[in-house]
Chains A and B, each alone.
Chain A
Amino acid sequence: MNQNEDLKKIEQKAFRATYQDGLYDICYGIFLLAWAVVPVVRDAGISMFLAALPFLAIPAVLLLAGKKYITAPRLGSARYGKERLSRGTKMFGFGVVSLAITYALIVIVSVWGVRISGFNGPGGMTVPLIESLAIFVGVSVLAYFSEFKRLYIYAVFFAGGIPLAEILYSQVGTPADELIAFGIPAVGIIIVGVVFLVSFLKNNPLPEREVANGI
């Protein structure tokens, strides 16, 4: 290992410290929970937008407030170098492209009725599998650029839930299919996040004012 790799490891260790608090896990969990709960609420006659709103707003508020009031006072904060910023820009760019490709594929498959050896049609798996693959690739790339390793596992939950819901549909109907396919992994992810958060709070008590003040 050369010295540049050592320095890279120091930077990575410092950056990855930001995931110790479990807040990202909780936010991804809540976001996945939306996929389980929104169909239930939608079936009750409430607009999907209104139903989905809390699941977008709560993670955003939790992340912003949590980082500011829980993480930063305990772990401190840092400004990262240009390479890290450029990684963030690449991640954003890929996210936009990935989203566009996903929607384009879904439109192509559903509107023009692309058939894959009779695997499509009502209850077919073509659209779910394409959605699943696109989501898996998108979330994995997000995990790669953000260096959030647990997100690779969550990518499997996000992506796997789509075909699983399709399979469960014929067994349990809707909205139980989505509740099971997305709800169970979502709760699991939230529990992992809470465990990390509790451990973070236990291991990193709030420093005294004198310590925060430094020298």
Chain B
Amino acid sequence: MVSERYRPNLIDGVDLLIHEPARYNIMALLYVLQSADFVFVQKQTGLTPGNLSAHIRKLAAAGYLKVEKGFAGNFPRTDLTLTAEGRSNFETYRQKMIGALGSLTKKQ
């Protein structure tokens, strides 16, 4: 058993919903934009439509994302926007990761 002294608990309390790489990419993209449609997010993140849909559902269910459906002409369009909660949680996640990674010393 690993001793308590060596347990790597640097990122305790980090939001694991955001910590997953694909969801991090979605959140980071929407964090720097006001909003984007589904196709734009898919192209930028390189995820497949099905995979992106699954992650968006999780983020929307947690209240991090607002999903709005509409039409651009005759073409369906799904707009994605970070909610205030999502934006704030992403900012908290960033700060925690900066703190956690910043506290690691360089390998000698």
Contact = CB atoms under 8 A, between A and B. Distances in A.
Interface of A: 2-3, 6-8, 10-11, 13-14, 17, 72-81, 204, 207, 209-215
Given A72-B72, A76-B38, A76-B42, A10 B29 contact: yes
A7 B32 contact: yes
Question: Does more than half of chain B's interface fall in helix, strand or loop, or is it mixed?
Answer: helix
Contacts of B29: 10, 14
A211 B75 contact: no
Contacts of A3: 94, 97-98
- Among all A-B residue pairs, the 8 with the closest Cβ atoms: A76-B40, A76-B39, A214-B78, A214-B38, A78-B36, A11-B32, A213-B76, A79-B34
B40 to A, nearest CB: 3
A212 to B, nearest CB: 5
B43 A78 contact: no
A207 B77 CA distance: 11
Contacts of B98: 2-3
A76 B30 CA distance: 14
B103 to A, nearest CB: 15
Question: Does more than half of chain A's interface fall in helix, strand or loop, or is it mixed?
Answer: helix
A72 B80 CA distance: 15
B35 interface: yes
Contacts of B14: none
B88 interface: no
A3 B57 CA distance: 26
B43 A17 contact: yes
Interface string B72-94: 10011110100000000000001
B35 A78 contact: yes
B69 interface: yes
B55 to A, nearest CB: 9
B56 interface: yes
17 contacts: A3-B97, A13-B44, A14-B44, A72-B72, A73-B39, A78-B35, A78-B40, A79-B34, A79-B35, A81-B33, A209-B75, A211-B38, A211-B49, A212-B37, A213-B69, A214-B37, A214-B69
Contacts of A7: 28, 31-32
